[in-house]
Amino acid sequence: MDPAARRRARAAERRRAAAEAKRSRAARRAPRPFPEPVTPAKAAGRHRSALLTMVLTLGLLIAAVAVTGGMIASSMRTRPVTLAAPLHIYPVTQATPGQCPPGTQGITGQSGMGQTCYRLAQGIAIHKVADMRVQKSRVRPGGYDVAVTLRPIDREAFADLTRATVGRDLAFIVRNQLVTLPRVDMAITDGNVVVTGPPNKTAANKLVAQLKGR
């Protein structure tokens, strides 16, 4: 290529670069498009969406407070109960028809066979409980149970008693009267005792009164 042709090629290249730079500057100076105008309908829709989000959030907060408040109220209703007479709890070692002979370590009560002598092993005496109340049964639809919460001072002794009595009966005795005879299904180590069996709420309330010695 002769010198003249090279000069013409370089000049053409410079013109193309200059034109490209001019187009780039023009693009930067071009006005930006305005945002799409918000119509009243769109504004209302956005407002409803924000309001719904706020309502749902408040609803969740209120529900959490209600649940927490219920738990606190439940714990506040728990008051130590001093029993009017000691509650004696004994393992039953044997049950025989009829009254207990004099000198027998046992107590006479009623069963399906009539009078029955329940022979007893060494037990414990409870003078106060953390709580005692009637509650709806979790295993018998429409039924009621008696829930007893033992104090920490009595829990270990009661745990030992139930460990040795699984599958047998415990005699709950107040003022030398047999109040109830629940069967031990498992060792109870946390102090939460549930006595099942009352046929209705009235009977459950009566059982609570008897256990309290009233």
Task: Provide the token pair at 197.
Answer: 């069996």
Task: Report whether 181 contacts 169 (CB < 8 A).
Answer: yes
CA distance linking residue 132 with residue 146, whole number of Å: 7
Q: How far is CA 123 from the centre of its chain?
A: 32
Task: Report whether 212 contacts 132 (CB < 8 A).
Answer: yes
Task: Report whether 212 contacts 134 (CB < 8 A).
Answer: no
Give the chain's length: 214
SS3 14: helix
78-123 per-position pLDDT tens digit: 578 999 999 999 999 999 999 999 988 999 998 888 899 999 999 9
Q: Which CATH architecture has domain 80-211?
A: 2-Layer Sandwich (3.30)
Q: Where are the beta strands (DSSP E) in 13-143?
A: 81-97, 106-111, 114-120, 124-129, 131-136
Structure confidence at residue 55 (pLDDT) = 34
Structure confidence at residue 126 (pLDDT) = 96
Which pLDDT band holds residue 34 (cuts at 50, 70, 90)?
very low
Question: Is pLDDT larger for residue 66 or for residue 156?
Answer: 156
Q: Mean pLDDT in the chain?
A: 77
Mean pLDDT, residues 170-199 = 93
- What count of other Cβ atoms lies within 10 Å of the Cβ of residue 124? 14
Mean pLDDT, residues 62-86 = 51
Task: Provide the token pair at 143.
Answer: 């039924």
Structure confidence at residue 140 (pLDDT) = 84
CA distance linking residue 210 with residue 135, whole number of Å: 16
| % residues pLDDT > 70 (the chain) | 66
| % residues pLDDT > 90 (the chain) | 53
Which pLDDT band holds residue 33 (cuts at 50, 70, 90)?
very low
Structure confidence at residue 208 (pLDDT) = 95
